[in-house]
Amino acid sequence: MDFTGKTAVVTGAGSGIGRAIASRFAQGGAAVQVLDVDLTAAQATVQLINEQGGNATAWVCDVTDLDAVEQVMRGIVEQAGRLDILINNAGIASIGSLTSTSPEELDRVYRVNVRGVYHCLRSAVPAMVEQGGGVILNLASIASLVGIKDRFAYSMSKGAVLTMTYSVAIDYIDHGIRCNCICPARIHTPFVDGYLAKHHAGHEQEVFEKLSKYQPIGRMGKPEEVAALAAFLCSDEAAFITGAAYPLDGGVTTLI
């Protein structure tokens, strides 16, 4: 996919899926803006991209802070001259049912996964409208499409991401803006390894295999596979695609 001359913003790009997406877009020639709440992690992604011959800039950004997001987006437009692609990847997980999810936990997830996406959309869309178009890709989840046990707050938040995708797609289609989302199943990232070490110490491999087999295809996805789909959906080859939710789930939503 050729992104030469385009500016791509990736939130939560300091690790995992976000890092893989940032790297993939840089390989395609984009000037990648690496946003993360952890500046050190963002700089590590930039270093990786630079070592691969790409072009990237690190920005510290807490997506829960609207003023901070607006300041970063303004800085990107002033520096790069435009904002062609926004990938809303930043997000957090949460485990629990309705009754085991505290109001504080619900608010924590809402601030990052819902308001965070809203803040980035609100800050980037006007620049895209002014320049005559752009592409937005949100990271939702299969939790926005099917019921998953003990994911009450997380499912709530990703359901909101899905419907925000539809809303932006229809509201800004006449402004040349496309908006889609990817709905992954379990993806093997450092977060998964950390979760297993924290909650299943001594049984990591056993639980990992169980989580892997949840996908009918028999394994978890790879961050690079998410990045490949992201690259296609944000490329000119996907110019006829908007308002769509793409499962990337190893068969979960259709074969279970």
Active site members? 154
Strands 177-184 and 55-60: unpaired
Q: Is 243 helix (H, G, I), strand (E, B) or coil?
A: coil
Query: How would you write 118-135 as a 3-class SS string?
Result: HHHHHHHHHHHHHHCCEE
The rounded distance, in Å, linking the Cα atoms of 120 and 110 is 14
Q: Is 60 helix (H, G, I), strand (E, B) or coil?
A: strand
Longest dimension (CA), the chain: 55
Residue type for position 10: V
What angle, rounded to 10 degrees, do the helices at 39-51 and 16-27 form? 30
